[in-house]
Amino acid sequence: MVTEQQVLDSMRHIIDPDLGKDIVSLGFVKNITIEGGRVRFTLELTTPACPVKEEFRHQCEKAVGALEGVESVEVELTSKASRQKAENQPNAPLPGVDAVIAVSSCKGGVGKSTVAAQLARRMQKDGLPVGLLDADVYGPSVPTLFGLHHPQLYSDGTNLLPVEVDGLKVMSLGFLLGEAPAVLRGPIVSNYIQQVLRQVNWGTLDYLIIDLPPGTGDIQLTVVQQVALEGAIIVTTPQALSLVDVSRGILMVEKVNVPVLGVVENMSYFDCTECGARHYPFGSSAQSLQSRFGLTNLGELPITPGVSDLTRPENLLPVFHDLADNLHRAVGARRADALPRPQASAQPGHIHILWPDGSESQLPNRHVRGNCRCALCVDENSGERIVGIDQIPEDIQAESVAPLGNYAISIAWSDGHTTGIYSWEHLRDLAQVVETE
């Protein structure tokens, strides 16, 4: 009879494409039972929306079924529990919701609400139970995006029920406040936010997408304090002014212990129907985003007429399918927590880094400070340095080093500079320069 070890060994060649390891080493294979020639086991994936789950199932059935003596293979697909706190904590999980994703931007007008709505619609059309919450008190967008200006709201006797739009569950503060301007003080705003977060019966959802208002005020803080977020997506555009605000958005959500899952670059390009070429009217900054912040670019979205009209269910761009897949992968990678992370610390005169391969780097403080890529140190339009190494005090010290997820660190310097984000890729490049000098 086949053994449990043989079953495990037969699947060690099945690699998770995002984590770069086999599913056995990652601990995905659980609860193996063998009854004669019948083999059953559970494949615990990182998220119920894993894009390759059916491929994994097929590969497992084929690998185990090829073992001598195996007559049948049953694979049950489950997923890891969301890393949310217990329900008695201030930012407790929402009952029945697997992952809560915040869509954020520090600058208005970048298409954040459209991205949130299209992303939610795309995932719902892919067969996932999804909800969309419009948390903007002062300028709710969902009523306009979906043409829901005066929807009838119902209750289950205790909580409000979301409005269903062709299978997508939707709730907006605009439904509660109407179309009159919201002239509200902070505490009242917080009360409204708590109501739509805690007094809406969402049922069972794989994802709840929260469309945050732009900025870093009371609404954002209330959401973070009330709900355990899986992570945040930062929406920006290629313009220099928007990119300046990306770092603010990253630092804001990381300071409240919400991981940034990636950046979405909206209004990036358009495809000309006359010449057939792709044009980038604001310049292409995808590589800049990756190298500067160390974050995954989840998607570059085109300029498309009518993209903000979600009254038509068929008005879905293929590019949002790729964005949804990339989000699933980002959530899965975070939950697996299988990626090795460098460790950085402030030492007298230098930043010490221990890399995952065991090697170490010591970067002089003045060299690191003088190579900051933030908007105060580098001109966003020309790319030329505003502050160079020769302008940095020789006795500059790093007062603190804070990790930003697994992609970068933030350093507070003794000269008062605190806005620099140093990706691991950038620090590795700096280390190579130091080692060759």
Residue 135 forms part of a structural domain: yes
Burial class (CB in 10 A: 0-12, 13-18, 19+), 21: middle
pLDDT at 62: 94
Beta carbons within 10 angstroms of residue 384's beta carbon: 8
Summarize the confidence of residues 377-393 as an average pLDDT.
81
In our burial notation (b when 16+ CB lie closer than 10 A, e otherwise), range 388-413 reads: eeeebeeebbbeebeebbebbbbbbb
pTM: 0.78
> Which amino acid type is present at position 152?
Q
277 and 417: one domain?
no
118 and 265: one domain?
yes
The beta-strand segments (E) located in 319-420 are 343-347, 350-354, 360-364, 398-404, 408-413
pLDDT, greater one: 213 or 115: 115
User: How many domains, in total, are found in the chain?
Assistant: 3
Summarize the confidence of residues 346-374 as an average pLDDT.
92
Whether 111 has a pLDDT exceeding 90, the answer reads no
351 and 332: one domain?
no
pLDDT at 270: 86
The parent domain of residue 8 ranges over 4-79
330 and 187: one domain?
yes
For 248-298, what is each residue's pLDDT tens digit?
A: 777 777 777 788 888 898 888 888 888 888 888 876 655 566 666 777 888
52 and 36: one domain?
yes
403 and 306: one domain?
no
Whether 86 has a pLDDT exceeding 60, the answer reads no
327 and 355: one domain?
no
385: tokens are 């340095």
Whether 85 has a pLDDT exceeding 60, the answer reads no
| Single residue among 310, 336, 362 that ends a domain in this structure | 336
Summarize the confidence of residues 23-27 as an average pLDDT.
90
Residue 91 forms part of a structural domain: no
Residue 29 to residue 18: CA distance in whole angstroms: 17
Whether 431 has a pLDDT exceeding 50, the answer reads yes
354 and 309: one domain?
no
Summarize the confidence of residues 362-375 as an average pLDDT.
90
| Single residue among 270, 301, 336 that ends a domain in this structure | 336
| Single residue among 79, 106, 141 that ends a domain in this structure | 79
pLDDT at 243: 61
109 and 51: one domain?
no
Highest mean predicted confidence (pLDDT) among 10-14, 150-154, 178-182: 10-14
Q: Above pLDDT 90, what percent of the chain? A: 32
Residue 325 forms part of a structural domain: yes
pLDDT at 84: 47
pLDDT at 19: 79
pLDDT at 398: 93
pLDDT at 415: 92
Q: What is the rounded average pLDDT for all residues in the chain?
A: 83
Residue 48 forms part of a structural domain: yes
Beta carbons within 10 angstroms of residue 269's beta carbon: 17
